[in-house]
Homo-oligomer: A and B are copies of this chain.
Amino acid sequence: MSSILKGNKLSVSVFGQSHSECIGAVIDGLPAGAEIDRDRINAFMGRRAPGQNFFSTLRKETDRPEFLSGLVDGVTCGAPLAFKIDNANAKSADYESLKKTPRPSHADYTAYVKFEGHNDIAGGGQFSGRLTAPLCCAGAICLQLLEEKGITVKSHIYSIKDVRDDAFNADNLFDSEIKLNPFFPVLNRFNGDRMKTVIQTAMENSDSVGGVIECAVLGLPTGLGEPMFDGMENIIAKNIFAIPAVKGIEFGSGFEGTLKYGSENNDDFTVKDGKISTVTNNHGGILGGITSGMPLVFRVAVKPTPSIGTEQTSVNLDTKKEEALTVRGRHDPCIVPRAVPAVEAVAAITVLDLLL
């Protein structure tokens, strides 16, 4: 099984390939009686849609989910909520030549072996970044339900290649003045401009870049998550790796925390307005797998888009001989900006499940 995010109460069963008739998902376990705001779903999904800025792929996707079940007059009824998003503007012909010469660092080769050559190669098949569209739709719904509980999810581009944004901290997390550009969210606009330059350079060189996304969940109660195998870190990590191109995740101070002394990395407790919290948040809001009430903060490493326009070396799967390969078609030089809502969506689904 592969396409099911199965939580305690909530499950999201994703379906579709890049060039199948449509893609979509079935969300099971949503509480009945929740009004679903389609405009907000569309707005959220617009953040991952291509064509929002100069460097994203030219493929035109309207990405309007069509709801198939689970709603009565726009309100959840307790039955599984299913929706589909039509695939349009697909150019399968572009991909035919890739069938026997897998693209480096794509899933073409592993899928070929696993599915014995029957995998859908067109557009990356089920491994396409396009499959984050149903994830985003499901996440947008969960975000609406979370907001009613006072919980918000906030994220930004932490880095593109070696250009870093500011990190989340007590100020910028809660400062209501800070508005993140939904299509290229950074805390510091100057950093954003430098990032865009890096992306543009990569594009001009028919190359690509990756980056890191930082995400925070605010407003969580203390005590969420289970020890050991079902802690917050375990579950969020498991679900985040569903997003294509993700190769790492860290919570709180994460890998950088290993450079510190315990006395630096430990977070002293304090009391504010009768409420217990910690002075710093190197633990990223999770201790022993359980939420501490501090912002849950994690970062996600997104590798450079493997589809690049320069010549690479592949192998012909029939002849087992090396072959030069130049990937054609339309590709983002950097998928990080469009992956941001996907990260938020997965965080929202995961957290809502634990709260139900």
Contact = CB atoms under 8 A, between A and B. Distances in A.
Contact of A2 (B82, B212, B229, B301): B229
Interface of A: 1-6, 8-11, 13-17, 20-24, 26, 28-29, 32-33, 67-72, 75-82, 84, 102, 104-107, 109-111, 113-120, 122, 125-127, 131, 159, 161-162, 202, 205, 207-212, 222-223, 226-231, 233-235, 237-239, 241-242, 244, 246-255, 257-271, 274, 276, 278-279, 282-284, 286-292, 301-308, 310, 312-315, 317, 320-322
B78 A304 contact: no
A77 B99 CA distance: 13
A249 B207 CA distance: 27
A109 B292 contact: yes
Contacts of A82: 15-16, 24
Given A17-B79, A32-B118, A69-B22, A289 B202 contact: no
Copies in the complex: 4
A68 B242 contact: no
Given A4-B28, A13-B26, 9 more contacts: A16-B79, A79-B227, A113-B223, A234-B238, A248-B249, A250-B250, A253-B303, A260-B304, A271-B322
B250 A69 contact: no
A196 to B, nearest CB: 16
Contact of A304 (B230, B265, B315): B265
Contact of A23 (B69, B76, B233, B304): B69
B131 A228 contact: yes
Contacts of A244: 288
